[in-house]
Amino acid sequence: MTNRLLRIFSTLMIVTVLLSACSGTASTAKTPLRVGWSLWPGWYPMVIAQEQGLFEKHGVQVEIIYYDTYKNTMPALGSGMVDGGGLALGDTLLDDVAEDIKVVLITDESAGGDQILAGPAIKNIQDLKGKRIGVQAGTYGEVLVQEMLDKNNLLRSDVTFVEVPVEDVPNAIPSIVDAAHTYEPYASQTRAKGNNPIFTSVDTPGLLLNVFAFRKDILQQRPEDVKGFIAAWFEAVKYWQENPAAGNALIAQTLGISESEVSIEGIKIYGQAQNLNAFIQSSEATSIYYHAQTEIKFLSDKGIISFPITIDANFLDPSFLK
């Protein structure tokens, strides 16, 4: 499926550039915004925006760059290989990217979409003691696993952490690990092999927000293009909400997957109203500022980041939402 995705988006990019060249508009001289992403349902509206021509409608050319491993988006964004990317909020705070980016859009909240699954021999979380847990170290997945341990009075020393990409989890239990963190569509594939969720993001309301972040130099040089990208995102979200069957079919056809695999169960997609509300600075759990501070405390306490980011307009910037 990875190769097919790459071919699809490469073809879309070629068509987009050719159409722009034929139109003779002022945007023809611009380099497309390069936006990295991986297979997470909360980012599917970007597919709708591309397929429906919504980026062009809002005056911006976008090159969608697909990574078959989620963690690869971070170094690409940090090095400038892409201008923006889809990441979990906690991962935007990591040393590799934090100084160079701003979070400008909340795409979704995981409310059950992230799952820690275990083999049938593990009946409850206490059964994990002495067992192996697969997780991508230093990412939001580790935050979720730590929350699970804390809520069930288990120590990190009670389990063994094993580096397992979320995409590999369906084949990792039980040969490599006894339990692991993943998300859709990989969670469904893992459950189909007889494994069961023992802890999900339902158990940690609001903890796992997913966002789009852009490099600060791009935001300074091309603010109107970023605003166009976000406007197209909001229109795609609205279309999908009003036309779920058509949206699912479009996504499935574009990604080369079955419609049954297109699911946002356990995911709350954020439109403009939800974004504006979440970007209100407060200590309430409805605010992205609250969750960013929670993530910073976790990452600092665990020594995952060398210096904490100040959560202000230099990191969270809602000015592009309107």
Q: With cut-offs at 50, 70 and 90, classify the pLDDT of residue 137.
A: confident
Question: What is the edge-to-edge ordering of all strands in the sheet holding 62-66?
Answer: 62-66, 33-37, 84-88, 209-215, 101-110, 267-269
Domains and CATH numbers, the chain: 2-110+208-276+315-320 (3.40.190.10), 114-203 (3.40.190.10)
Omega prior to 244 cis, within 30 of 0? no
Contact yes or no for 196/117 (Cβ under 8 A): yes
Beta-bridge partners for 64: 35
> What is the pLDDT at residue 265?
87
Range 114-131 average pLDDT: 95
Q: With cut-offs at 50, 70 and 90, classify the pLDDT of residue 71.
A: confident
Amino acid at 169: V
Which of 318, 314, 290, 300 shows the shortest CA–CA distance to 95?
300
Give the whole-angstrom CA distance, residue 100 versus residue 220.
Answer: 12
- How many Å is the Cα radius of gyration of the chain? 19
The beta-carbon contacts of 170-175 under 8 Å, at least 24 apart in sequence, are 172/134, 173/117, 173/118, 173/119, 173/134, 174/119, 174/121
Range 138-148 average pLDDT: 88
| Residues 149-163: tens digit of each pLDDT | 999 999 999 999 999
Structure tokens at 170: 């369906």
Residue 103 in this model has a pLDDT that exceeds 50: yes
What are the C-alpha distances in Å from 246 to residues 54, 241, 255, 256, 267?
16, 10, 14, 15, 19
Residue 17 in this model has a pLDDT that exceeds 80: no
Structure tokens at 307: 């210096």
Which residues lie closer than 8 Å to 304 by C-beta, 6 or more apart?
A: 94, 138, 142, 298
Q: With cut-offs at 50, 70 and 90, classify the pLDDT of residue 5.
A: low
Which of 61, 60, 58, 65 shows the shortest CA–CA distance to 43?
65
> What is the pLDDT at residue 16?
43
> What is the pLDDT at residue 302?
78
| Residues 265-280: tens digit of each pLDDT | 889 999 999 999 999 9
- The percent of residues above 70 in pLDDT, for the chain, comes to 91
Give the whole-angstrom CA distance, residue 118 versus residue 173.
Answer: 7
> What is the pLDDT at residue 133?
98
Residue 50 in this model has a pLDDT that exceeds 50: yes
Contact yes or no for 108/269 (Cβ under 8 A): yes
Contact yes or no for 109/206 (Cβ under 8 A): yes
Give the whole-angstrom CA distance, residue 301 versus residue 200.
Answer: 23
Give the whole-angstrom CA distance, residue 8 versus residue 261.
Answer: 18
**Kind plus residue range of the DSSP H or E element containing 261:** none
CA torsion, ordered 296, 297, 303, 308, to nearest 10 deg: 40
> What is the pLDDT at residue 206?
77
Give the whole-angstrom CA distance, residue 155 versus residue 57.
Answer: 52
| Residues 268-321: tens digit of each pLDDT | 999 999 999 999 998 888 899 999 998 898 888 878 888 878 899 999 999 999
> What is the pLDDT at residue 86?
97
- The percent of residues above 90 in pLDDT, for the chain, comes to 70
> What is the pLDDT at residue 233?
97
Is the full-model pTM beyond 0.75? Answer: yes
Beta-bridge partners for 87: 211
Q: Mean pLDDT for the chain?
A: 89
Residue 147 in this model has a pLDDT that exceeds 80: yes
> What is the pLDDT at residue 29?
56
Range 67-96 average pLDDT: 93
